[in-house]
């Protein structure tokens, strides 16, 4: 009898520890501060909980204390976020350029009508053949006005600072990288140069503009 009581107490103790490690995280999935993204699949790695974001991008999910959330969809690059010590979360997803993904946005209902309008006017870019350019920097220099290229550095006119640290950042397939010199123009599906105001959706990394590149798969 005593053995059963001890086992029961151990089970209750383990359960209570496990319970204290469980909590609820709320947040929003966003394209920009103005546009939430709905129907994004959100999975907690440790608790195994899965939810879809609401039409305005909001979500609530059951997590372990040191869990990691994964955000996944067909038209946006996936992203992971650790939630240790975090109860609320804002997650910005990067759109995968190309007409196929614009069509998926409509089919899957990821964005409101206003969000769709923003995508088509600012972020959507049809595929092009860039094989006539010898390198990616020649492509940028030849295709975009108001851009200065010096070696492997791209500067967008109008973003100069007193410190001189005004180089644009590079976003390749949804990930910020420090160098794009190894990307061949023939392998580029789409490329866009966003000035500082347009690149505000990327926060401090878009302060001096962003060169957004998607490569062919």
Residue 197 pLDDT > 80, yes or no?
no
Average pLDDT over residues 162-171: 76
Q: Can you say how many angstroms the Cα of residue 141 is from the centroid of all Cα atoms in its chain?
A: 27
Q: How high is the pLDDT of residue 19?
A: 46
Compare 127 and 138 and report the one with higher pLDDT: 138
Q: Are 14 and 70 contained in the same domain? A: yes
| Domain assignment present for 107 | no
Residue 127 pLDDT > 80, yes or no?
no
Q: Are 16 and 63 contained in the same domain? A: yes
Q: How high is the pLDDT of residue 170?
A: 94
Average pLDDT over residues 188-208: 83
Q: What's the pLDDT tens digit per position in 8-46?
A: 555 554 444 444 468 899 999 988 888 899 999 999 999
Q: How high is the pLDDT of residue 162?
A: 46
| Domain assignment present for 110 | no
CB crowding 51-75: b at 16 or more within 10 Å, else e: eebbeebebebebbeebebebebeb
Q: Are 145 and 188 contained in the same domain? A: yes
Here the CATH number for the domain that contains residue 57 is 2.60.40.10
Give the pair of three-digit tokens for residue 32.
Answer: 């920009």
Least confident piece of the model among 16-30, 120-134, 137-151, 191-205: 120-134
Outline where DSSP puts E strands in the chain. 22-32, 35-36, 41-44, 50-52, 58-64, 68-72, 79-82, 88-92, 147-150, 153-156, 169-172, 175-177, 188-194, 210-215
Residue 193 pLDDT > 50, yes or no?
yes
Range of the domain at 210: 125-215
Q: How high is the pLDDT of residue 50?
A: 95
- pTM of the predicted protein model: 0.55
Q: How high is the pLDDT of residue 61?
A: 95
Q: What's the pLDDT tens digit per position in 44-64?
A: 999 999 999 999 999 999 999
Here the CATH number for the domain that contains residue 200 is 2.170.130.10
Q: What's the pLDDT tens digit per position in 55-109?
A: 999 999 999 988 999 999 988 889 999 998 888 999 988 888 777 788 788 778 8
Q: How high is the pLDDT of residue 114?
A: 84
Structural domain count of the chain: 2
Q: How high is the pLDDT of residue 124?
A: 60
| Domain assignment present for 64 | yes
């Amino acid at each position: 009898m005593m053995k059963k009581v001890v086992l029961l107490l151990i089970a209750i103790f383990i359960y209570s520890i496990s319970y204290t490690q469980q909590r609820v995280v709320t947040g929003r999935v966003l394209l920009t501060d103005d546009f939430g993204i709905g129907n994004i699949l959100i999975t907690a790695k440790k608790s195994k909980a899965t939810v879809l974001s609401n039409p305005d991008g909001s979500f609530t999910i059951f997590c372990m204390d040191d869990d990691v959330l994964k955000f996944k969809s067909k038209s946006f690059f996936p992203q992971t976020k650790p939630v240790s010590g975090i109860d609320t979360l804002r997650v910005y997803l990067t759109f995968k350029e190309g007409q196929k993904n614009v069509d998926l946005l409509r089919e899957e209902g990821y964005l409101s009508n206003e969000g769709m309008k923003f995508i088509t006017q600012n972020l959507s870019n049809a595929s092009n053949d860039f094989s006539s350019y010898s390198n990616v920097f020649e492509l940028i220099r030849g295709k975009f006005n108001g851009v200065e290229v010096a070696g492997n550095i791209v500067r967008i006119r109008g973003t100069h600072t007193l410190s001189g640290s005004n180089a644009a950042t590079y976003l390749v397939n949804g990930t910020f990288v420090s160098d794009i010199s190894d990307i061949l123009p023939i392998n580029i599906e789409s490329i866009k140069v966003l000035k500082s105001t347009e690149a505000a959706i990327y926060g401090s990394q878009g302060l001096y503009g962003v060169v957004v590149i998607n490569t062919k798969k």
